[in-house]
Amino acid sequence: MSHEARVIVSTVNDLSELIRQFIHHLLPQNHPRAEIELLYRMMRDYPERGGKRIRGQLVLMSALAYGGRTEPLERVPGLELPMSGFMARAVPLASALELFQNWVLIHDDIEDESEERRGSPALHRIHGMALALNAGDALHVYMWEAVFQGPAEARAEFLETIHRTAEGQHMDLGWVAAERWDISPQDYLEMVRLKTAYYTVVAPLRLGMIAAGLTPDPRFLEAGLALGAAFQIRDDVLNLTADRLDYGKEIAGDLLEGKRTLMLLWWLERANPEQHEFFLKAMNKPRVDKSAQDMAQILEWLLSSGAPQHAMTVANAEAERGLHILEQALSDAPNGRAVKIILEQMRSLATRTH
Amino acid sequence: MSHEARVIVSTVNDLSELIRQFIHHLLPQNHPRAEIELLYRMMRDYPERGGKRIRGQLVLMSALAYGGRTEPLERVPGLELPMSGFMARAVPLASALELFQNWVLIHDDIEDESEERRGSPALHRIHGMALALNAGDALHVYMWEAVFQGPAEARAEFLETIHRTAEGQHMDLGWVAAERWDISPQDYLEMVRLKTAYYTVVAPLRLGMIAAGLTPDPRFLEAGLALGAAFQIRDDVLNLTADRLDYGKEIAGDLLEGKRTLMLLWWLERANPEQHEFFLKAMNKPRVDKSAQDMAQILEWLLSSGAPQHAMTVANAEAERGLHILEQALSDAPNGRAVKIILEQMRSLATRTH
């Protein structure tokens, strides 16, 4: 499949448009059988709901940071750059990482029994579980189509990233399935590093450097795990506290799903015996049987305990540590303008308040 | 990952053992975290339940048929052959195809709400839907690990095979979800060619030839689609008629799952209005609400209508057509002994009675 991008990149948001176009051309659209066209529409649904494509953008920014070694990127203001050379190697990888995120979200939404995704009903709420599960698998294969259009060195990176993400997801879901609440904050940190940090920060930084023809900096691992953990801890806090319209997710969805979060684990260690008992009784019910009143009570205790503030403090510490290591790692990169943008974006990702 | 096989292949069943060993070495076993070791055990579960590995065996037989061009395979009785040369290229592909079958079965069992797989509870009945879905995704990625250990030309074959299988699966599930029974026998044939024939016959024949360093014979497509359709039509019949102990699947599971089969569609075209109405009312219920009595009634009508015999006649015609084309295609292959075994195996697969 050939892809001719006509976009000129002059702002960071244009990188997202490059990815959108690549995915648009990669995924199939028409089929003589109406049934199979429905599958194609289902595969396009989540990618077309948009989102910020932060992971794909980070792949391209990392490629720009290192690609500057071979192409003069600073000749014009911003990052103006036609699609050529190493960017043609980077865009398939950035798009593949976004496709990874999208097929994983289809399956996550089924696993978590989520109602909504990006402000609309989750795919399995529209088409039923069976068709949505299968569409996630079909999209997974298109992720590999995209990977194969990038440099060969990226394959091992995708294998590693998906292995680790599946392991983190298994830990998270396994605690829910086993009704386990004897989880330490350290367990939680290990889980989110696997579940979130690999594919959100570690892999994008590495894939960009691979696209630029270089071997990934080993410091990206520690930096990415810290920044990714900061991102997920904040995401958990925002899930509980943010304004619905502002954020576009179900408020307190994590409570309904029984997600183990740093806030909950921290509060639970400090809850009095009555609260503890109330909590376990209310939480160890299937989602549909959970009472809104119970959830509101737990939410109130949680918010008034200082748990969100504590979680934010941990997130900030992880963010600062990650940014410090990342800054050192990127100090070798030839394109200082791209480095500056990456650090700003990572700071904003790991310290966002909405 | 390196794989040293110590098996000497002297019978066709030894080919299955080569695949078993490859998969055993490929999949991870130990992890410091007990939770993640559970994921690893879940990934190994279906592959270790055995099965005949007919698809993987066919990859290796096809490789032997064409690999004879470069290695003297007939120097000893049977197919005695140490793991070397082109077989080292074929075993990863054969194992990858078996891994494909296994991750697909994990997801199929969830989609179909199946109770059993190979005589034991389905994975999601043991561990819950969420963990099983995720384990299927994790196993999918190990399939690609295996593919990457084979020749590069095999990648496009896997992409194509999974695309077509997902499309066929979508057609099948989509008819159930939409409660559609206005499906023609021709629709059914198109569906099973996509859902079953590609990965059961077309892909194995092609992958073996790719492992032998050749371009796949274009006649494998038509031959494989016909043989695969014959296999699936028979599988549907056996699902309804075979003895439980002999077959190891839930009897009439397809009826409970609402599967559109050639038998059902043929009978439905001939059913009287009362039977037709009874059927639609009984079938368009969720699986859990279906009455055993209703299913027994439908089964009785179906069996006494001659529908299984009709389906077997169609299957036989497809099988003969497929075998004829396959025989022509394989007439070029240098290893006549391997060709003979492939044709026998395909005849037995497409005309089996239990």
Q: Does A175 touch chain B (CB under 8 A)?
A: yes
| pLDDT tens digits, B273-313 | 999 999 999 988 887 888 888 888 998 999 899 999 999 99
CB B61 within 8 A of CB B15: yes
Mean confidence (pLDDT) of chain A = 88
Q: Would you call A176 exposed, middle or buried from its count of C-beta atoms within 10 A (0-12, 13-18, 19+)?
A: buried
**pLDDT for B78 beyond 80:** no
How sure is the predictor about B156, in pLDDT bands with cuts at 50, 70 and 90? very high
Q: Cα–Cα distance between B232 and B101 in angstroms, integer?
A: 15
Q: Report residue A81 as tokens.
A: 């750059």
Q: Cα–Cα distance between B299 and B283 in angstroms, integer?
A: 12
Interface contact A36-B170, CB threshold 8 A: yes
**pLDDT for A44 beyond 50:** yes
Tell me what pLDDT residue B247 has.
44
C-beta neighbour count of A100 within 10 angstroms? 24
The alpha carbon of residue B34 is apart from the nearest alpha carbon of chain A, in Å, by 10
| pLDDT tens digits, A270-312 | 999 999 999 999 988 887 888 888 888 998 999 899 999 999 9
For residue A185, what are the CA distances in angstroms to A229, A240, A268, A269, A351?
12, 18, 11, 10, 20
Tell me what pLDDT residue B251 has.
56
- Considering only CB atoms, which chain A residues are within 8 Å of B162? 137-138, 141
3-state secondary structure of B298: helix
How sure is the predictor about A215, in pLDDT bands with cuts at 50, 70 and 90? very high
How sure is the predictor about B82, in pLDDT bands with cuts at 50, 70 and 90? very low
Tell me what pLDDT residue A76 has.
35
* A84-111 average pLDDT score: 92
Beta-bridged to residue B117, according to DSSP, are: B120
What residue has token string 């394109």? A335
Q: Cα–Cα distance between A318 and A314 in angstroms, integer?
A: 6
A248: alpha, beta or left? (left if phi > 0; alpha if psi -120 to 50): left
**pLDDT for B70 beyond 60:** no
Q: Report residue A4 as tokens.
A: 């001719």
| pLDDT tens digits, A108-123 | 999 998 899 999 999 9
* B213-230 average pLDDT score: 97
Q: What is the DSSP string of A294-316?
A: HHHHHHHHHHHTTHHHHHHHHHH
How sure is the predictor about B13, in pLDDT bands with cuts at 50, 70 and 90? confident
Tell me what pLDDT residue B2 has.
37
Residues above pLDDT 90, as percent of chain A:
70
| pLDDT tens digits, B96-137 | 999 999 999 999 999 998 899 999 999 999 999 999 999 999
Q: Which residue has the higher pLDDT, A250 or A13?
A: A13
The C-alpha R_g of chain A, in whole angstroms, comes to 21
How sure is the predictor about A3, in pLDDT bands with cuts at 50, 70 and 90? very low
* B325-350 average pLDDT score: 93
Tell me what pLDDT residue B4 has.
37
Interface contact B130-A111, CB threshold 8 A: yes
Domains, chain A: 12-351 (1.10.600.10)
- Considering only CB atoms, which chain B residues are within 8 Å of A39? 166-167, 170, 174
Q: Give Cα B308 to chain centroid, integer Å.
A: 21
Q: Cα–Cα distance between A124 and B136 in angstroms, integer?
A: 18
Q: For chains A and B, count residue pairs whose Cβ atoms are closer than 8 Å.
A: 121
Facing B111 at nearest CB: one of A31, A104, A133: A133
Q: Cα–Cα distance between B157 and B177 in angstroms, integer?
A: 30
Q: Cα–Cα distance between B205 and B215 in angstroms, integer?
A: 11
Q: Does A36 touch chain B (CB under 8 A)?
A: yes
Tell me what pLDDT residue A67 has.
83
CB B202 within 8 A of CB B220: yes
H or E stretch at B145:
helix B129-148
* A133-152 average pLDDT score: 97
Helical ranges in A258-306 per DSSP H: 262-270, 273-283, 292-304
Q: What is the dihedral of CA B236, B160, A139, A132, to 10 degrees?
A: -10
Instruction: Tell me which residue of A338, A332, A329 sits closest to A81, measured CA to CA.
Output: A338
Interface contact B35-A170, CB threshold 8 A: yes
The alpha carbon of residue B64 is apart from the nearest alpha carbon of chain A, in Å, by 29
Q: Does B159 touch chain A (CB under 8 A)?
A: yes
Instruction: Tell me which residue of A273, A298, A287, A253 sits closest to A176, measured CA to CA.
Output: A287
**pLDDT for B249 beyond 80:** no
ipTM of the complex: 0.91
Instruction: Give which of B137, B193, B284 to mutate to test A binding, by max A Cβ within 10 Å.
Output: B137
Interface contact A141-B162, CB threshold 8 A: yes
- Considering only CB atoms, which chain B residues are within 8 Å of A138? 162-163, 166-167, 170
Facing A166 at nearest CB: one of B104, B141, B171: B141
Angle made by CA atoms B145, B146, B148, in degrees to the nearest 5: 70
Interface contact B35-A159, CB threshold 8 A: no
* A216-232 average pLDDT score: 97
Q: Does A159 touch chain B (CB under 8 A)?
A: yes
* B129-146 average pLDDT score: 98
Tell me what pLDDT residue A187 has.
96
- Considering only CB atoms, which chain B residues are within 8 Å of A169? 134
Strand bridging mode B116-117 / B120-121? antiparallel
The alpha carbon of residue A28 is apart from the nearest alpha carbon of chain B, in Å, by 10
CA terminus-to-terminus distance, chain B: 39
Q: Does A234 touch chain B (CB under 8 A)?
A: no
How sure is the predictor about A17, in pLDDT bands with cuts at 50, 70 and 90? confident
Q: What is the dihedral of CA B285, B287, B289, B290, to 10 degrees?
A: 80
**pLDDT for B328 beyond 90:** yes
Q: Report residue A192 as tokens.
A: 């989110």
Q: Report residue A189 as tokens.
A: 């940190």
C-beta neighbour count of A291 within 10 angstroms? 10
How sure is the predictor about B45, in pLDDT bands with cuts at 50, 70 and 90? very high
| pLDDT tens digits, B171-186 | 999 999 999 999 999 9
Mean confidence (pLDDT) of chain B = 88
What residue has token string 């590093």? A193
Tell me what pLDDT residue B74 has.
37
C-beta neighbour count of B202 within 10 angstroms? 24
What residue has token string 């799903």? A257
**pLDDT for B6 beyond 80:** no
Interface contact B133-A111, CB threshold 8 A: yes
Tell me what pLDDT residue B291 has.
85
Q: Give Cα B288 to chain centroid, integer Å.
A: 27
3-state secondary structure of B284: coil
Tell me which chain A residue has its CA closest to the CA of residue B158.
A141
Q: Cα–Cα distance between A39 and B162 in angstroms, integer?
A: 14
Q: Cα–Cα distance between A235 and A249 in angstroms, integer?
A: 11
Interface contact B36-A170, CB threshold 8 A: yes
Instruction: Give which of B167, B193, B194, B259 to mutate to test A binding, by max A Cβ within 10 Å.
Output: B167
Facing A174 at nearest CB: one of B35, B173, B174: B35
Helical ranges in A185-250 per DSSP H: 185-192, 203-211, 219-241, 244-247
3-state secondary structure of A117: strand
Q: Which of A116-130, A236-250, B64-78, B195-209 has the lowest mean pLDDT?
A: B64-78
For residue A277, what are the CA distances in angstroms to A173, A264, B202?
22, 14, 58
Q: Would you call A321 exposed, middle or buried from its count of C-beta atoms within 10 A (0-12, 13-18, 19+)?
A: middle
**pLDDT for B7 beyond 70:** no
Interface contact B134-A173, CB threshold 8 A: yes
